[in-house]
Structures are given as C-alpha cells and as structure tokens.
Chains A and B, each alone.
Chain A
Amino acid sequence: MRNTGGQLVLLIVINVAVLGLGAAISGGSFLAPFNLQSMAGQLPEIGFLAIGVMLAMCAGNGGIDLSGIALANLSGVVAAVVAGKFLSSADPSSAYSLAFIIGALLVGLIGGTVNGLLISRLNITPILCTLGTQMLFTGLAVVASDGRAVAVGSPDLLAQIGNGLFLGVPISFLIFIGVAALVAALLKFTPFGLWLMLMGTNPKAATYAGFPRTGVLITTYATSGLLSGLAGIIIAARNVNVKWDYGTSYLLIAILIAVMAGVRPEGGYGRVVCVVLAAIALQLMSSMLNFGGLSNFVRDFAWGALLLTFLAVGRYNVVGFLIPNKSTKLV
C-alpha cells in the first residue's frame, strides 16, 4: 500500500489549488458563500455513485458497478409513481416525502441485491452483469414512467433535503458526508470491510481461507445499490422532477472519480475520504471552468489530464520523489 498517503496529499493540494485559481479568475466571487453552497449542493448525487463504484472495484475480480445512475433514476421514478398513487406531494404532512424516500431506498437496495446475486451466485463478470442490469433498470424506468418526466413536486421534507441549509451548509451535503463517514467506518471497523479488501487483493486465498464470498459480494453490491437510491432521492429533491434518462454522463464520471481517488481497479484498496476529495476536486474544477466562461470541452480535457496524472502518481512515488527526505513517513 505504498503511496496511499501521497494520493491524499495530492488531492488536498489540488483542491486548494483549484479554489485559489477559481478565486483568482473570478475576482473572489468563486469563494463567496453562495457559490460554495451551490457547489456543495451539486456534489452529493455524483458522490454517492462514485462511492458505489469504489465499493464494487474494491471487491476485485474486475468488480465495477455500471448500473449506478440507471438504478438511481429507477429508484426516483418508481418511488415517485408509487408514492404518487396513494399520496399527494401537495399534502402538508411529510407522509409523501417519507414514502418517497423509503420507496427509493428500497428500490435501490433491491436493485443492488440483484446485482450481487447475479455476480456471486451465477458468477457473471461484474462489468457484463451491471451493463445488463443498467439497461434493465433504464428500461423498467421507461415503462414505469411511460418515458415521461414524473413530477415529485416540492413537499416540505424533500425540499429541505434539496435546498435546505443547516448552519449554512446544504443539508444534502451533510447527508453525503454522514453517509460517506458511515461507509468508511464500515470498511475500517467491521469484519465485512476487512473481508472485502482482502478478497479484492487475492480472491483465491480468500476462498481457501473460508471467507463468506457470496455474503460479502451481495453486501457490497447491495450497499452500492442503496447509495444509488440515495442519489435518486437527492436528484428528485433538487430537480422537482425525475426522469429515466437523467445524468447519462454520470456513469463515466463516477468511475473517473473512483480511479482519481486511487481506488485500485484490480481490487483490494480504496479510501472513502479520497473518493470524497476527488469528487470535490472534480466539482470545483467544473464550476471553476464555468465561472471562467471556458468551453466544457476544456473541462473534459482537464479531467483526462488529471486522471492520467493520478494514475502516474499511483504507479510511481511522485510525492516521495519531489520531497525525498520525508517520503519514508508517507508509506
């Protein structure tokens, strides 16, 4: 696990550098509280998906979850259609919001469990399995919504999640940080976390050591699905409407964030804090380019360059190379 501290340091440095650069080109307004809130509010939907991808990647054996955004949309659409059948979003009580939230989480959990079952029981390669379920989920969402946008409206509780602030911080962002911390704790302090990482490092050894492979895989993908459900809730809360084709570009961005965060595509290593920081870095960068009025193609270019940089940092001890005498402490 060399260089892992280096990844964290680099991510922090990049975040601060982008903040500084943004402040410089915008004449300070980039760091105005309203923009910081606005950026923090944009982060959770993609952040949840990226953590899901990270978990799948950590499981090793080509683990990946391509169905994230499709499942998020399905959760939102199904929850909105079902909750809308029995309750009205104009109702002053929180019944509609609660029904929507529970529904979305449930759909996410079921979708993720299906992924886990297919991958662990039928031994389907994760990339193919989740590609299939991605299309399945998208198709189901189209059928459930007739291909149209489904109105969620802004009932109090959901509006709070989407637009509310707590001590000046968007509530959606607080939820994201809270859930990220929870996942990090799950990985660090529970046997599941240890099993997941060790299994990702060497699946064969894990099997011979008697790890509950099926259980770990199902839990991993179910958690990823649950995170998709959360993303679906945030999307609905912010956008008032949900639609099956929302965020098609998120699929690759979520993978980009995970790789930038130093999650090993071969499995066995990944840190939630790095994923969160990588997501923040991407958000800052894209907002900065919008502030600077630069073309969005520049953003794709910058992201690509950043990704390659991070891959290089992961492979070679660049931070240690730049600061040789301190490098030993990083290991």
Chain B
Amino acid sequence: MGTLSKKVLLGSTLAAALIAGSAGALMAQNKPVIATVVKISGIPWFDRMETGVKQFQKDNPDVVATQYGPATADAAQQLQIVTDLIAKGVNGLAVVPMDPSVLEGTLKRAMDRGIIVVTHEADNQKNTNADVEAFDNADYGRALNERLATCMGGKGKWTTFVGSLGSRTHMQWVGAGEANAKSKHPDMALVDANNESFDDANGTYEKAKEILRKHPDIKGFQTSAGNDVLGVGRAIDEAGLSGKVCLVGTGLPNPSQDLLESGAITAIGFWDPQKAGMAMNSVAKSLIAGKKIEDGANLGVPGYEKVKVTKGPGVGVLIVGNGMVIADKANYKEFLF
C-alpha cells in the first residue's frame, strides 16, 4: 500500500468516526411509520396496491405509510429490504411475502424488536401479528360458480381449470365451485374437471380448443390462474362462441378488457390489491396503537367492513375480509389496473 492510500485510509477512518460520533442526534420521528413491502415493484398488481398505500397515507396523516419492493422477483432481495427497514426502525411492516418460509427468521427478529408485522397472501406465515386475506377461498369459489350458473341458466356441461394440481388455493376455489353446482344446480354436468393451465395463456388456449372439440355442447368454464381467462377466452372467441359459452374465472381487468367487451369472457373475479394494501395498513395502525382486531371488526376499507378473525398458524391472527370483486362487461371499468 502506498503512502497515499495509507493517508486516505487514515483520513477516511477519522471521517467515519466523526460521522458516527454525530449520529443519533437527529433521530426524531414521532409519527408511527408503516412500511409496506411487496413481492416485486413495477408490475400492475403492486402498482395498484401502491395507490392504496398512498390513499391510506392521505386519509391518515397521523402515520407515515410508504411502499417498498425489490426490482427483481427474488425472495432474497425482498428479505434485504425488510432487514434494512427493521434497522431503520419502522413501527409497522405490512409484507406481501414472496416466499413466507424465507421471511420467517427475519420477521421474528422484527417482532422481537417490537415491530408490528402484518402479512397478506400468506395464511401459513407463523411469525406475524396478523395475516390479512381478501376473502375466504371457499366463498370465492362459490361466488365464481354462482356467476357461471347464472350465465348458463343453471344447466349444461361445464369444466374447470387450475394453475396446477398442487396449487392449494386454486383447488379450494374449484372444489367449492363444484360443491356449489352439485347442491344448487343439479342440471349442471361437470366434465373433464381440473385441467392444469400452468398459468400459461397459450397452453390454456390449446387445451380449451381441445375441450371445445371434445365437447361441442359445453356451456361453461370456471378458471383459476390469472392468465386462464385469456387463453380460454381466445379459444371461445376464435370458435365464434362468444356469448354462447360462459367463462368465469380469476383475471385482471386491464388484460381482459378486449375479451370482456367481445363477450368471450362472462365475468372475472379478483381481489383489489388497492383495498388489500389499505386493509393491511389499517390493521398495522390499529395494532401499533395497541388495539386488538376483534371478530366482526370494521377496518374502514370497502370489502373489509366485517372481517372474520381466527387464530393463525403462529402467534398471530388470521383476518379474512369479503374483498372479492366479480366484474363483468358492465362494471370492469371501475377497476382498471
């Protein structure tokens, strides 16, 4: 090492020591800080959630609410953001975990430091004060099926799609739909159930074409993964069956716009990430204030006016709202994201 590098090293050490010495003097933050951490930033779903966080901030000037998210879809990157926020000293964390298992250790450290942790889309998360879910999965599956039955007039052949047979929520949705049809609409006949789509619009399109060929008299599809409506919808559209075959499934308003307009998609179901973001922040704010969320509580967010509260898998509670949205041609424009 040359003399210069030694001098620079010495100077830098001194400077660092100086800065460190003066640190801590300016740590005045009296409003509680709630940080929302999403799976990945810059995608429509979480951009929509950010509008909710901003709305919450506007409605609640007595807290500081902001949203963070990694630039790449990697649990390790989300973990780093959470770790840094814990160190920064936030009061509440509202996390949509990329992978709940990876975050357990870090969320536990956060809770040990007295930070309130609220999660979303992670009903198996152990280290959380409260997990907020938009809806009960069985209710959602039933609602989708009921919408399908209305369109089908309560009779005819129908089938179901899931992302994969291993996807727990998708199986719950179609399972509840199946049970609903069986008990309320005996004239509806389920054929070739539980097709796997792997959330791939192209693959789903091929599969839907096969089904349309195999069952020319099919009347309805109930789908689960986000891209399924697009694949099945395209198959229906190309077969000239728009409006004759009913399609109800999970989907997002923006990408489904054309197919909703053409009538290939009857209705899409989803939950609004904007409201979910507001609900998470609302729960965090109440918990920071030392309040408890009781069964039947009103979070002050549409769809979360009367939440169901049960014991979660860990120390915290599981809060289930009724935040499902079933949108069709008439009203999807209210939710464009």
Contacts and interface: CB of A to CB of B under 8 A. Distances in A.
Interface in B39-60: 41-42
B25 A28 contact: yes
Contact of A19 (B19, B75, B101): B19
Interface stretch (A35-43, A89-97, A98-106): A35-43
Contacts of A154: 105
Given A20-B19, A28-B22, A42-B80, A35 B88 contact: yes
Interface string B108-120: 1100000000000
Contacts of A326: 2-4
Interface stretch (A53-61, A129-137, A234-242): A234-242
A291 B69 contact: no
Contacts of B101: 149, 151, 240-241, 243
Interface string A47-72: 00000000000000000000000000
B23 A163 contact: no
Contacts of A20: 15, 19
A301 B35 CA distance: 23
B84 A290 contact: yes
Interface in A224-259: 238-241, 243, 245-250
Contacts of A290: 68, 80-81, 84-85, 88
Most B CB within 10 A of own CB, among A37, A41, A239: A239
A299 interface: yes
B71 interface: yes
A39 B87 contact: yes
Nearest to B13: A16
Interface in A11-36: 12-13, 15-16, 19-20, 23, 26-32, 34-35
B24 A12 contact: no
Contacts of A323: 4
Given A16-B16, A243-B99, A290-B81, A248 B24 contact: no
Contacts of B87: 32, 34-35, 37-39, 287
Given A250-B76, A296-B69, A291 B26 contact: no
Contacts of A9: 4-5, 8
B336 interface: no
Interface string A287-298: 100110101110
A240 B108 contact: yes
A23 B71 contact: no
B1 A5 contact: yes
Given A243-B75, A329-B4, A29 B68 contact: no
B66 interface: yes
A79 to B, nearest CB: 16
Given A31-B20, A42-B83, A293-B68, A330 B27 contact: no
Contact of B41 (A16, A19, A26, A296): A296
A326 B3 CA distance: 9
A300 B106 contact: no
B86 interface: yes
Contacts of B109: 163
A20 B23 CA distance: 10
Contacts of B22: 23, 28
A290 to B, nearest CB: 4
A27 B3 contact: no
A142 interface: no
Contact of A293 (B66, B74, B75): B66
Interface string A255-266: 000000000000
A162 interface: yes
Contacts of A246: 74-76, 99, 102
Interface of A: 5, 8-9, 12-13, 15-16, 19-20, 23, 26-32, 34-35, 37-39, 41-42, 149, 151, 154, 162-163, 238-241, 243, 245-250, 286-287, 290-291, 293, 295-297, 299-300, 323, 326, 329-330
29 contacts: A5-B2, A9-B4, A12-B8, A15-B12, A16-B16, A20-B19, A23-B23, A29-B23, A31-B23, A39-B84, A149-B101, A149-B102, A243-B102, A245-B99, A246-B74, A246-B76, A248-B72, A249-B76, A250-B76, A286-B84, A290-B85, A291-B84, A295-B41, A296-B41, A296-B68, A297-B42, A297-B71, A326-B2, A330-B4
Given A29-B23, A29-B24, A326-B4, 20 more contacts: A8-B5, A9-B4, A19-B16, A19-B19, A23-B22, A28-B23, A28-B24, A28-B27, A38-B84, A42-B84, A149-B99, A149-B101, A240-B108, A241-B102, A247-B74, A249-B76, A290-B80, A296-B77, A297-B71, A329-B2
